[in-house]
Amino acid sequence: MHVIIENGRIIDPANQLDCVANLYLADGKIAAVTNPPDGFQADMRLDASGQIVCPGFIDLSTRLREPGQSRKATFKSEVIAAASSGVTSLCLQPDTSPVIDTPAVAELIKELANKAGYRQILPIAALTRKLEGNELSSMLALKQAGCIAVSNAGAPVTNLLILRRAMEYAASHDLLLIFRPNDYWLGNKGCAHEGAIATRYGLPGIPDAAETIALAHCLELAELTGCRVHFGQLSCKRSVIKIQQAQKYGLAVSADVAIHQLHLTENDMIPFDSAYHVLPPLRTEADKQFLRQGLASGTINCICSDHQPHDVDAKLGAFPETEPGISSLETLLPLTLKLVEQHAIDLQQAIAALSQHPADILRLNKGALTPGLPADICVFDPEREWQVNPSTWKSQGCNTPYWQHTLKGRVTHTLQAGKLIYRLHEPA
């Protein structure tokens, strides 16, 4: 299949491209930018006039609820949501049921992805067996089965010696550790940031120290073991400062932030509305601004959705009793573009944080429009407005604080390995 994407504004941060031109795809790969290869005959033409053409997005943290919780969502429903959002690669956290701690479960993930027609679901292996924090998983076997990294998925590791041994094991096999810093015991089963809002409404709080202390422990062990570490879903100012210092002194660490943490704070929480129940919790305005500064400076490398779809029952009941998480794949692009509109970052930085940088961290041969690379492409209209409602929403989980909000920025086409997997059919 030969495809021409015509007249779009091509933005490719990896190659420092920003120009209006044609993009040529052949046999699932990027063939050329601007000038067609010799003898190129198109089987399909896509008009991208007035739109942006960029590398497909790589989401570093998602839950698709399969296997084990298909009442909440399925691969089939969530890959449609991903495709409609320009996401061409999904990193699946290991806290599935069963946990991704054996090659058999990793193979099951591949089978489910193939059945859903979306092959680029990348399993992350559990750091410890059953994520119980006691016994190391078989990391080498999991890597050989296709797992791209190992992670604690937010689950506690019972003591620092186990974490040290896990990091030594990961380092010996050149496996990336994706670590979600949270001291479970300091968190004390809280559900909101420990501050004025939690106090006012009687909600059990989680201090930012629960994150920063766990992060500091892991940084010390990263230096001791030489393990490559990526810190997932940072939420507070002091975490950004610690990462910044570690990078300054040469530690091989990187970090991401969930998109909602860059927009929402504890002050935005509607009292007792469980759509705002997330972990880590929404923190202060100062934390939000520092996360934005960390993204702009490159201390934070990536933006992820931290997509966690839930059924209605999971979000019913008293706020502390509900399950945390936002269904957020479909708001990832418009909320990232809002950062650009608010001058927090520029458009090149925004696209790099969703494509080039995740690919670099995972050492994937993706995230750029370089000839010869897989043709994972997102085409979007940055000015197109749409409302979050049942007619536009694809995910099975409707748990978002943005329900009925009007957002700007809409994907019109998504290609995965040169195959068109999404085309917007809404009226212009």
Number of domains in the chain: 2
Residue 368 lies in a domain: no
Query: Do 41 and 106 belong together in one domain?
Result: no
Mean pLDDT across 132-156: 96
As a whole-number percent, the residues of the chain with pLDDT over 70 amount to 99
Residue 101 lies in a domain: yes
- pLDDT reading at 30 higher than 80: yes
Residue 62 lies in a domain: yes
| Residue 271 confidence (pLDDT) | 79
pLDDT tens figures, 375-419: 999 999 999 999 999 999 999 999 999 999 999 999 999 999 999
Range of the domain at 131: 56-362
- pLDDT reading at 427 higher than 70: no
pLDDT tens figures, 220-252: 999 999 999 999 999 999 999 999 999 999 999
Query: Do 203 and 286 belong together in one domain?
Result: yes
Residue 105 lies in a domain: yes
| Residue 428 confidence (pLDDT) | 46
- pLDDT reading at 141 higher than 70: yes
Query: Do 106 and 39 belong together in one domain?
Result: no
Residue 234 lies in a domain: yes
| Residue 426 confidence (pLDDT) | 64
Work out the mean pLDDT of the chain and round it to a whole number.
Answer: 96
Query: Do 14 and 84 belong together in one domain?
Result: no
- Dihedral pair phi/psi, residue 112, rounded to 5°: -65, -40
Question: pTM for the complete prediction?
Answer: 0.96
Query: Do 97 and 202 belong together in one domain?
Result: yes
Q: Which of 208, 256, 287, 306 is catalytic?
A: 306
CATH number assigned to the domain comprising residue 415: 2.30.40.10
Query: Do 302 and 324 belong together in one domain?
Result: yes
pLDDT tens figures, 80-115: 999 999 999 999 999 999 999 999 999 999 999 999
Query: Do 64 and 103 belong together in one domain?
Result: yes
Query: Do 256 and 385 belong together in one domain?
Result: no
- pLDDT reading at 17 higher than 90: yes
**Spatial distance between the Cα atoms of 26 and 231, rounded to a whole number of angstroms:** 36
306 is catalytic: yes
**Spatial distance between the Cα atoms of 271 and 62, rounded to a whole number of angstroms:** 26
Query: Do 155 and 251 belong together in one domain?
Result: yes
**The one-letter amino acid at 275:** A
Residue 367 lies in a domain: no
- pLDDT reading at 425 higher than 90: no
Query: Do 135 and 94 belong together in one domain?
Result: yes
Residue 196 lies in a domain: yes
| Residue 272 confidence (pLDDT) | 86
Residue 409 to residues 208, 303, 380, 381, Cα–Cα distance (Å):
33, 16, 7, 6
**Spatial distance between the Cα atoms of 301 and 215, rounded to a whole number of angstroms:** 16
Between 254 and 154, the higher pLDDT residue = 254
Q: Quick count: other Cβ atoms within 10 Å of Cβ 398?
A: 17
Query: Do 305 and 349 belong together in one domain?
Result: yes
Query: Do 44 and 60 belong together in one domain?
Result: no
As a whole-number percent, the residues of the chain with pLDDT over 90 amount to 96
Residue 395 lies in a domain: no
CATH number assigned to the domain comprising residue 193: 3.20.20.140
